[in-house]
Chains A and B, each alone.
Chain A
Amino acid sequence: MSTILVLVESADELPDRLSLEALELARRLQGVIGGDVEAVLVGGDAAVADGLGSYGVTTAHVAAGERLAAYAPAAWAAAVQTVMASVGPAAVLAPGSERATEVLAHVAARTGLPMAANVTDVTPGDRWKVIRQRWAGSLLEEAWLDGDPYLLTVAAHAIPAAEAAASAATVSVARTEPAIADADLRARVTGHVPSASDKVSLSDAKVVVGGGRGLGSAEAFAMLDELAGLLGGAVGVSRVATSLGWRPHAQQVGQTGTRIAPDLYIACGISGAIQHIVGCKAAKRILVINTDPEAPIFSRAAYAVVGDVHAVVPAITAEIRRVGGGASSA
């Protein structure tokens, strides 16, 4: 019996999107090699574990305890290892989040096993063949992966999220309190600093309005804030806009910023350097507003407006208002 163990993270008492993507890959694998899909939640709450049956999970292992109260990468890895020891999985999958990637890398380091990061597809066999992202997704690598178990993280937004079955199957919840060594608590979260703004988070926004060099000034971003506000979305920016000090780095979309996956990305005055494209290519559709129809971003766009953002964006905003639409005019 080959079990696939998936590290599940949660947000607002639900498995988060990247975890659902990992569960989707696990179920595809299960379709080939058979066996069970089991989940491991570290420090997680029972409500999340209870709901995992509808995603095909048969057993959810909840590792908790005083020493797992605050996030510590090595402690989290120790907890995953404890569950691995009792389950004996064929593979351990982690979502493509910063934290889960870090935890699985610690598991790999502690066990001496290979790990493949940002995997988009797996073909099981005597050795597993994986396709993984290099260059932040600009290049795909086909590679043989070894390991017993196989360790891999699932690339963010490369696979659709698992959908809940209509009739939720029951999941058995197994609680464990792993022993955590002092050494595994040396690096741990000791505090939180809230960020200045509490607007819609860039990585989860359904609509992102992006601005780049073509905006010309920090002041011009006000019209993007307005449009994003009307659409219930968030503002994202290119690296130029942060380098010039127009916008904080937290809003940067791209290779060294946030990866976004909105239903619509409105790219205003952005040429489309590859470092930016890797951050926004998971958008379902891209609308480009740019004076230069030769700009590379046009090749990625479903829709385009050739024109100056300073004229086009306020016109769009005015039109949204005129027809009485938009989130903040309701």
Chain B
Amino acid sequence: MRILTLVKRVPATGGRIALNPDDRTIDTAYLGFVVSPHEECAVEEAVRLAELHGGETVVMTLGPAEAADQLRDAVAIGIGRAVHLETDGGDWDPIATSTAITDAIRVLEAADGPFDLILVGNESADSGGYQVGIRIATALDRPCVNGVKALEVAAGVATARRQATDGWEVFELPLPAVIGRLRAKKKEIDRMEPEHRPASPELIRLALPVEQEQTAEILGTGPEAAPRVVEVLRELGVL
């Protein structure tokens, strides 16, 4: 089985979102970047399905040079191969994004054969367009369902579940297919309670080490300080 997962590099916004002065982009100076959360789930799913059924996994992103970091994250989790559609960092709308990705998928499939499964996020965390996966599926003439929280594959059929008001809707899609993932609860963690046998040394208290006090020498104020600075640089042998 060949599985392609599409991911997007997005800033990890923990608290308030701050805007740049142009009011067109968000200030990411102090933010890290991650794979958009729903797609992170898709990456894990691809690795799991490939382990179960055998086959090749590929991850692809459309984004700036730095998005290679997110591809490496996916490879670190167990994805076999990464493809980067590198942009200059500007904003790509859903039609431009899906067209570029569809073209790239056609190139990859012409070289190495079709993907049985294309996994996408239900929506990107940042722009929230809810459509790129559906546009790709339509362009490639493949069945597609979004909002999927559980996925299994057997005998050329993908069985996908998504939450409805009164339980779960079950979809059965013939492969090849496109699946839009929603983030789901992570696997249960097995918990054990080890017996705590106290040993020695036995803690009495903690303290922070006393720092060597340093008093800065004031080299001056404003531009007038320059000569003294240079003097010091000389003294230090760096000039």
Contact B126–A105 (Cβ < 8 Å): no
**B16 nearest in chain A by CB position:** A274
Smallest Cβ-Cβ distance to B134: which chain A residue: A105
Q: Could you tell me if A134 and B165 are in contact, using CB atoms closer than 8 angstroms?
A: no
B131-A109 in contact (CB<8A): yes
| Residues of A126-155 whose CB lies within 8 A of B | 133-136, 138-139, 141, 153
B55 in the interface (beta carbon within 8 A): no
Whether B128 contacts A134 by the Cβ 8 Å rule is yes
Tell yes or no: A175 within 8 A of B by CB: no
Q: Is the CB of B141 within 8 A of A193?
A: no
Contact partner of B13 (CB less than 8 A), chosen from A114, A243, A274, is A274
Q: Which of B105-113, B168-176, B202-210, B212-220 binds A?
A: B168-176
Least distance between B155 CB and chain A CB atoms (Å): 15
Question: B185 contacts A192, CB within 8 Å?
Answer: no
Whether B169 contacts A71 by the Cβ 8 Å rule is yes
Is the C-beta of A187 less than 8 angstroms from some C-beta in chain B?
A: yes
Residues of A in contact (CB 8 Å), total 49
Q: Which chain A residues border B172 with CB–CB below 8 Å? A: 188, 190
Please, what's the 1-or-0 string for A168-206, where 1 marks a CB less than 8 Å from any CB in chain B? 000000000000000100111111111100000101000
Question: Is there an interface contact between A194 and B131, defined as CB atoms closer than 8 Å?
Answer: no
- Complex Cα spacing A225 to B164, Å: 22
Instruction: Check A138 against B170 for contact (C-beta < 8 Å).
Output: no
Interface check A28, CB cutoff 8 A: no
Interface flag for A294 (CB, 8 Å):
no
Q: Given the complex, which residues of A lie within 8 Å of B137, measured CB to CB?
A: 109
> CA separation between A186 and B174, bound complex, in Å?
7
Chain A residue, CB-CB nearest to B139 = A109
Task: State whether the Cβ of A115 lies closer than 8 Å to any Cβ in chain B.
Answer: yes
With both beta carbons as reference points, the residue of chain B lying nearest to A185 in the complex is identified as B143
Q: Does A283 touch B at the CB level, under 8 Å?
A: no
Q: For residues 164 through 208 of chain B, which have their beta carbon under 8 Å from a beta carbon of chain A? A: 164-174, 177, 182-186, 188-189
Residue in B15, B126, B138, B170 whose Cβ sees the most chain A Cβ within 10 Å:
B138
Residues on B with C-beta less than 8 A from A190 are 170-172
B40–chain A nearest beta-carbon distance, Å: 11
Name which of B65-73, B74-82, B144-152, B227-235 contacts chain A: B144-152
A110 on the B face (CB < 8 A): yes
CB nearest neighbor in B for A116: B129
* Alpha-carbon separation in the docked complex, A207 to B130 (Å): 29
Contact partners of A256 in chain B: CB under 8 A: 37-38, 182-183
Q: A134 contacts which chain B residues (CB < 8 A)?
A: 126-128
Taken together as a complex, chains A and B put the C-alpha atoms of A194 and B164 apart, in Å, by 9
Smallest CB separation, A294 vs chain B (Å): 14
Q: Tell me whether A135 and B173 are in contact (CB under 8 A).
A: no
Set A71, A98, A136, A195: member contacting B167, Cβ < 8 A: A195
Chain B residues, Cβ within 8 Å of A188: 171-172
A153 to B161, CA, bound (A): 23
A168 to chain B minimum Cβ distance, whole angstroms, is: 27
Check if B134 sits within 8 Å of A187, measured CB to CB.
no
Contact flag A135-B166 (CB < 8 Å), given A114-B94, A187-B144, A190-B172? no
26 contacts between A and B (CB under 8 A): A71-B169, A74-B144, A98-B147, A98-B162, A101-B130, A102-B146, A106-B134, A106-B138, A134-B126, A135-B13, A135-B17, A135-B126, A138-B13, A139-B26, A141-B127, A183-B141, A189-B169, A191-B170, A193-B170, A194-B166, A194-B167, A195-B166, A195-B167, A245-B189, A250-B163, A256-B38
